[in-house]
Structure 1
Amino acid sequence: MQNGSDPLQELPAALAAGARRPAGTTGPVRVGLVVPGTRPALADIEARIMAQRGRVSLLYQVLLNSAAIVSGWESMLSAVRLQTGVPGPLRELIILRVAVLNDAPFEYEAHAPIALREGVSAQKIAALSAVAIAELFDPEEALVLALTDAMTRDVAVPDALMEGLKQRYDDQQLVELVATVAAYNMVSRFLVALQIAH
């Protein structure tokens, strides 16, 4: 990114790898969409979503099919995104890496602009699409991305990696990092399974 340039202008190149449907999917969203304002029983949760997100996105129109799920989802994801000590740039690197690994372009497209606003460079966003973690990431980013890769690809985290994390983070920080990776694996798998895509 050049000084004085608008980081959102750099987004199209950074999104090139993610701007497609998940592999193996061909059709529309696999469940019905709930149009906001059409179910009075959902008015409170719709108001919460609007307050947190400014709109009821396609994802939330799917989630509104279950009042219990959308309510819990909104509470948990808002806590992960807005109430932990995970720095915004690190959180967005996690989310984008999960989206790449799980082939979830909707998640990637939703969070790439957020990552740019949080100060993640377009170069780092693009590098998340590589198989291996690039050298342009600083040691903390590389460590957290290694955690993200282990949890997303293998579920289990090797002892040596966990020891490296424990040397850098206290228990609360580690729980919040692991919860962020886990939560966005949930998001991406939900998106892919139900073919939620732009």
Structure 2
Amino acid sequence: MMATDTVRVPLVEPGTRPELKPVEDRIMLERGRISPLYRVLLNSAPIAQGWESMLTAVRNRTGVPADLRELIILRVAVLNRASFEFDAHIPHAQRAGVSQLKIAAVRELELPSVFDETERLVLSLTDHMTRDVEVPEAVMERVTQRYSPAEVVEIVATVAAYNMVSRFLVALNVVH
């Protein structure tokens, strides 16, 4: 836990900076609201715009099944101690059909047997990418045998993107 509960940069109040209107409109279109994360990102219009575009692609425009995507996001949040991200994605995981049992299990240091073979493989990749950066050849071989090149890129990009998200949130102390 950090010594402060204060976000480390100002939250930009939507509608207060006319030059941000196109970015805010895009965020609203894709997200339906401007969350505290985006209120921090709006301190830099180019970063907010690029972030929104990339994360929308990762979350909404890939072939990664929603339940698997949300398990990845929750696991990354756990490993990076990004409670804001974890809490924000519980409803998404539930809507994607992830059971409460699996949502709770993703918090365990060692993954319990509640996960099926596919989930365990992708969560193993997630753990290696997040904890170690490098993925053992044996794990990557199993991933590339199970998934097409496009699917591998999309799964790896999902893990990488949410490592970026969670590390950004933790560094700037975005907790609610």
Task: Give TM class, smaller chain.
Answer: over 0.9
How far apart, CA to CA, are the structure 1 residues paired with 2:4 and 2:58?
Answer: 31
Please, which of 40, 52, 62 is the counterpart of residue 40 of structure 2? 62
How far apart, CA to CA, are the structure 2 residues paired with 1:109 and 1:81?
Answer: 16
Task: Mark the runs of 5 or more structure 1 residues left unpaired by the alignment.
Answer: 1-22
Please, which of 133, 143, 146 is the counterpart of residue 165 of structure 1? 143
4+ long deviations beyond 4 Å: none
Partner of 1:108: 86
Partner of 1:97: 75
Partner of 2:119: 141
Aligned length: 176
Task: Mark the runs of 5 or more structure 2 residues left unpaired by the alignment.
Answer: none
- Give the residue type in structure 1 aligned to 2:164: M
2:14–2:39 contact (8 Å) kept in structure 1: yes
Per-residue Cα deviation, 1:110-155 (whole angstroms, up to 9, x for no partner) = 1011100100000000001101111010000000000000000000
Pair 1:25–1:89, CA change in 2 (3 A): farther
- Percent of aligned positions with the same letter in both sequences? 64
TM-score w.r.t. length of structure 2: 0.99
Pair 1:74–1:51, CA change in 2 (3 A): same
Partner of 1:48: 26
How far apart, CA to CA, are the structure 1 residues paired with 2:109 and 2:115?
Answer: 14
Shift, 1:84, TM fit: 0.3
1:25–1:195 contact (8 Å) kept in structure 2: no
How far apart, CA to CA, are the structure 2 residues paired with 1:140 and 1:47?
Answer: 37
Partner of 1:180: 158
2:5–2:175 contact (8 Å) kept in structure 1: no
2:70–2:89 contact (8 Å) kept in structure 1: yes
Partner of 1:30: 8
1:96–1:111 contact (8 Å) kept in structure 2: yes
How far apart, CA to CA, are the structure 1 residues paired with 2:11 and 2:144?
Answer: 43
Per-residue Cα deviation, 1:147-173 (whole angstroms, up to 9, x for no partner) = 000000000000000000011001000
Partner of 2:50: 72
Partner of 1:151: 129
How far apart, CA to CA, are the structure 1 residues paired with 2:75 and 2:4?
Answer: 23
- Give the residue type in structure 2 aligned to 1:31: V
RMSD: 0.7
